Structure 1
Amino acid sequence: MTQQKPSKKDFVDLINSLMGQKIMTEDQLTKFLNDAKKVKETKGTEGFLEFVQKTTNAPASKDQLERLADEIKRSGNPVNAIDFLIKEKLLTDQQARKINQAIEHTKKKKRKN
């Protein structure tokens, strides 16, 4: 049995759930991903990281974003990324718990389908 990856809808639902209100739609996520891909292709990783910082108002430095990307590539595990964000004080323990709960909810939902 192959594991299904979360859909864009799952990811949008996760973001909206974490924010406590509807702040993103699937169309907005698609546009963001397409724009991010174009920036990566034309300006490389450095340009991509600047794009992420600018569009998300991420409170992370480019160095932190680079290390986060490296951690995700190295481990392939979102839990490790969350641990990294806690260690860098970019997420609180409470925020991390909410994210983990939303991820588990999505996994359960996928298993039912």
Structure 2
Amino acid sequence: MVGKGPNHKEMTQLINTMMGQNVLTEKQLGQILEGARRANERGGMSSVLDYLMKVTQADVDKDELTEFADSVRTNPQVGMDLLNGKRGIPKNKD
């Protein structure tokens, strides 16, 4: 078994804390994760990113998001540092 991460309740609390308000419920997170799983089965990480951008209505550059996802995949500590507030969200290169 790979490392155990946060459960839905913990992740929902973390997201809501980071956002400074309740923006997500455990049920919504579960639905988003299930949709991301299906997107991954259909088309890999690119499909997952498309799905998440659509669901969250995120106004981000897909290439930057892909680059960030790749950096977290190769060094998961980057993602953990971001979640724990040890590292800031990467800035645009513009």
Give the TM-score of the pair, scaled to structure 1. 0.64
Post-superposition CA distance 1:4-61 (Å, at most 9, x none): 5322111101111222222211111111000111011112222211111111122321
Partners of 2:35 and 2:28 in 1: CA distance: 10
Partners of 1:29 and 1:80 in 2: CA distance: 19
Question: How many aligned positions are there?
Answer: 87
Secondary structure at 2:37 match in 1 = helix
Q: Sort the Cα spacing of 1:64 and 1:84 in 2 relative to 1 into closer, same or farther, 3 A.
A: farther
Q: Does 2:90 correspond to 1:86?
A: yes
Please report the RMSD computed on the Cα atoms of aligned residues, expressed in angstroms: 2.5
Structure 2: give runs of 5+ residues left out of the alignment. none
Bigger Cα Rg: 1
Give the TM-score of the pair, scaled to structure 2. 0.75
Partners of 2:48 and 2:88 in 1: CA distance: 20
Q: Which residue of 2 aligns with 1:22?
A: 22
Contact 1:71 1:80 in 2 (8 A): no
Contact 1:8 1:26 in 2 (8 A): yes
Matches within 5 A, 1:55-94: 55-77=55-77, 78=79, 79=81, 83=87, 85-88=89-92
Partners of 1:18 and 1:85 in 2: CA distance: 12
Which structure exhibits the higher relative contact order, with contacts defined as CA atoms closer than 8 Å and separated by 6 or more residues?
1
Shift of 1:80: 6.2
Q: Which residue of 2 aligns with 1:37?
A: 37
The answer to which structure has the higher helix fraction is 1
Identity %: 31
